[in-house]
Structure 1
């Protein structure tokens, strides 16, 4: 099978993007896993489908493990850039699930997009029956700390403490698949120093990535809500930063995207 696609990234969080308005390509779990492999595939964190239902543009995400993903902040910005370039406009709107996202071009490679509301409601994470507090204490190996549970289209647990990259790879997957979280969870650790915020995230279904946009949104909302940072706040990653602004309960994310690379894929 041959098909056309785009390759893009947001601060190193990279995507294979398939426009199904012009072709019909649907990959199964094994095909996604094969293509996402960085050693013998194309290599990417998430697969994105652009689709049209009636007059609506709809975006669907799958993680590198082949499982459906509810949301992706960096992916939203990359898709927005492709669609803006196509119609030669500085604005575009599309749906991810039941959320309508409005995106705006700030400069050539900077996109601002509303990410909708966040919730701390435990039923929206979701959690197992024994969990009735937020934040919740998590103990894994030698790690023992409180984490805040937040959903911004996908579920996150945010720890206001930093850990090493080595510990992230060890502890992250154990918390992701903890019994408290029947559908898994994204795991973020925050280094907060004088409004200089750096985060590390173990993504559900994708593992250790260079940048997670929804983790930035969830972290930003939490820090602003707790008055631990300014509004807006810059969330730093190895390759740059994302700005998070809280408007009432809605989050607006602004950050960079890469060039759009057109590729042909054979599988």
Structure 2
């Protein structure tokens, strides 16, 4: 099978995007895993663009393990930029498994997407039992074997847990990430963020993404981290979330809805033989 596709990224969080609006391509789980494999094409997520009567398009997200994801902030921003160039519109409305997402094209390769209100009830995340979602009392250990207890759970279209630590460089995300992702508190697994608040306007993060592993950047993790930080009184309504590859600007409006602004890459046309 020969497929035409696009390759894009937001701060290195990269995607293979297949337009399914005219010609329908049905991919097996094995084919999705192969496309995401960095020994083949390689990406954090595969995105399918589908026709939608009530919005500019419907998006389906697949993690590199072949499983589905309800939301992908950077992926949504990339597709919004792609469709904006096609339609010459500066506002793009996209529908996903987790709801409707409105994106604004702010200038050359700068896109803002409204992710919505973070969900904080235990059954919305979901957790396996009724727990205090502000502090799950999960133990993690730094490189010196010092114990840290915490974990704030938020759902922003997919489940996240954020640990606020003094210095996230002192923790091994490659060890902690997969352990917490599969923790029995999370029946649908979760994304794991180690966050260090530098000041009221800046948080540095490392992210282990559910079904994808260590990622250079994760839009929904940035949104969840900013929301959790505000919940815990660590920051105000606006904060930059910094990854190793750059920053996303997160703001929380008067309705408690989260907005994410950041850069997107050029659009690369690719062909996939699978």
TM range (shorter): over 0.9
1:153 partnered with 2:160: no
Deviation at 1:145, TM superposition (A): 1.6
Report matched runs for 1:117-266 at 5 Å: 117-129=117-129, 131-134=130-133, 135-140=135-140, 142=145, 143-161=147-165, 162-164=167-169, 167-195=172-200, 196-247=202-253, 248-266=255-273
Asked if structure 2 preserves the Cα contact closer than 8 Å seen for 1:9 and 1:78, the reply is yes
Once the two structures are superposed, residues 106-135 of structure 1 have per-residue CA deviations (whole angstroms, 9 ceiling, x without a partner) of 111100111111111100111113x42221
Once the two structures are superposed, residues 187-215 of structure 1 have per-residue CA deviations (whole angstroms, 9 ceiling, x without a partner) of 00101112331111100000000001000
Q: Which whole-Å CA distance do the structure 2 matches of 1:138 and 1:55 have between them? A: 42
Which ranges of 4 or more aligned residues in structure 1 deviate by more than 6 Å? none
Asked if structure 1 preserves the Cα contact closer than 8 Å seen for 2:5 and 2:272, the reply is yes
1:13 partnered with 2:10: no
Deviation at 1:167, TM superposition (A): 1.0
Deviation at 1:55, TM superposition (A): 4.3
Asked if structure 2 preserves the Cα contact closer than 8 Å seen for 1:140 and 1:174, the reply is no
Report matched runs for 1:6-85 at 5 Å: 6-39=6-39, 41-56=40-55, 57-85=57-85
Asked if structure 2 preserves the Cα contact closer than 8 Å seen for 1:137 and 1:144, the reply is no
TM-score by length of 2: 0.92
Deviation at 1:225, TM superposition (A): 3.2
Distance 1:159 1:20, change over 3 A: same
Deviation at 1:33, TM superposition (A): 1.4
Q: Which whole-Å CA distance do the structure 2 matches of 1:207 and 1:245 have between them? A: 26
Asked if structure 1 preserves the Cα contact closer than 8 Å seen for 2:15 and 2:45, the reply is yes
CA RMSD of aligned residues (A): 1.5
TM-score by length of 1: 0.95
- Structure 1 segments unaligned to the other structure (5+ residues): none
